[in-house]
Amino acid sequence: MKIKAIQVRKGMVITFKNDLYRVYEATHVTPGKGNALMQIKMKRLSDGNKAEQRYRPDESVEKATLLTREFQYLYDDGMNFHFMDTETFEQIQLPEEDLQDARYYMLPETLVTLLFHDGKPIDIELPPSVELRVEETEPNMKGATATGSYKPAILETGLQTQIPPFVEAGEVIRVDTRDGKYMDRVK
């Protein structure tokens, strides 16, 4: 489906040079001199390579036609991650390398959206945030507050992130799946 470059938004999947790319930044630039343009930064779904392209606002861009279906993450066997369709109970498996960083945000029973192109799963959409337990971190510092500096932590899925000094190992925190950053402590 063709759309105008001015309509491209973050998160869209577009076709560029016969490959599928997810847009991670779309900026409308109006220089003091010359014509306005759309600056689009994107990541190829097949291997994660980044690309940058400029379009005139009225230029056509091919938006990929994707089918989305909700799946439940079941388990991983060390090489593949197994998912179950929540409507048909059909199970599929995806190789670990296809998930890239998404694997750090999934515990068994996590609901995710898989994107299909030509009947083949090509990408995964995570919920906006997930709750994960802190496995390892430095001990709590007396008198530490949220305004202090952050300390490194390893979460139950292996994700490494920065947390406030008052959070201890064993506590559950909410993490933003877009950037892996600490959001808040779960009570």
Per-residue pLDDT, averaged over 69-91, amounts to: 95
Domain termination site, one of 40, 63, 86: 63
Q: What percent of the chain has pLDDT over 90?
A: 67
Domain termination site, one of 44, 63, 82: 63
Query: Looking at the 3D structure of the chain, how many domains does it have?
Result: 3
- The predicted pLDDT at position 182 comes to 95
CA distances from 65 to 1, 26, 76, 119, 173 (A): 7, 19, 29, 11, 36
Same domain, 59 and 6: yes
In whole angstroms, give the CA distance from residue 25 to residue 15.
Answer: 15
- The predicted pLDDT at position 10 comes to 85
- Can you give the residue range of the structural domain that contains 88? 67-125
- The predicted pLDDT at position 142 comes to 65
SS3 34: coil
In which band, very low, low, confident or very high, does the pLDDT at 144 lie, cut at 50, 70 and 90?
A: low
CATH code for the domain of 100: 2.40.50.140
The DSSP-derived string for 56-82 is -TTSEEEE---EEEEEEEEEE-SSEEE
- The predicted pLDDT at position 72 comes to 97
Q: Which residues pair with 184 in a beta bridge?
A: 174
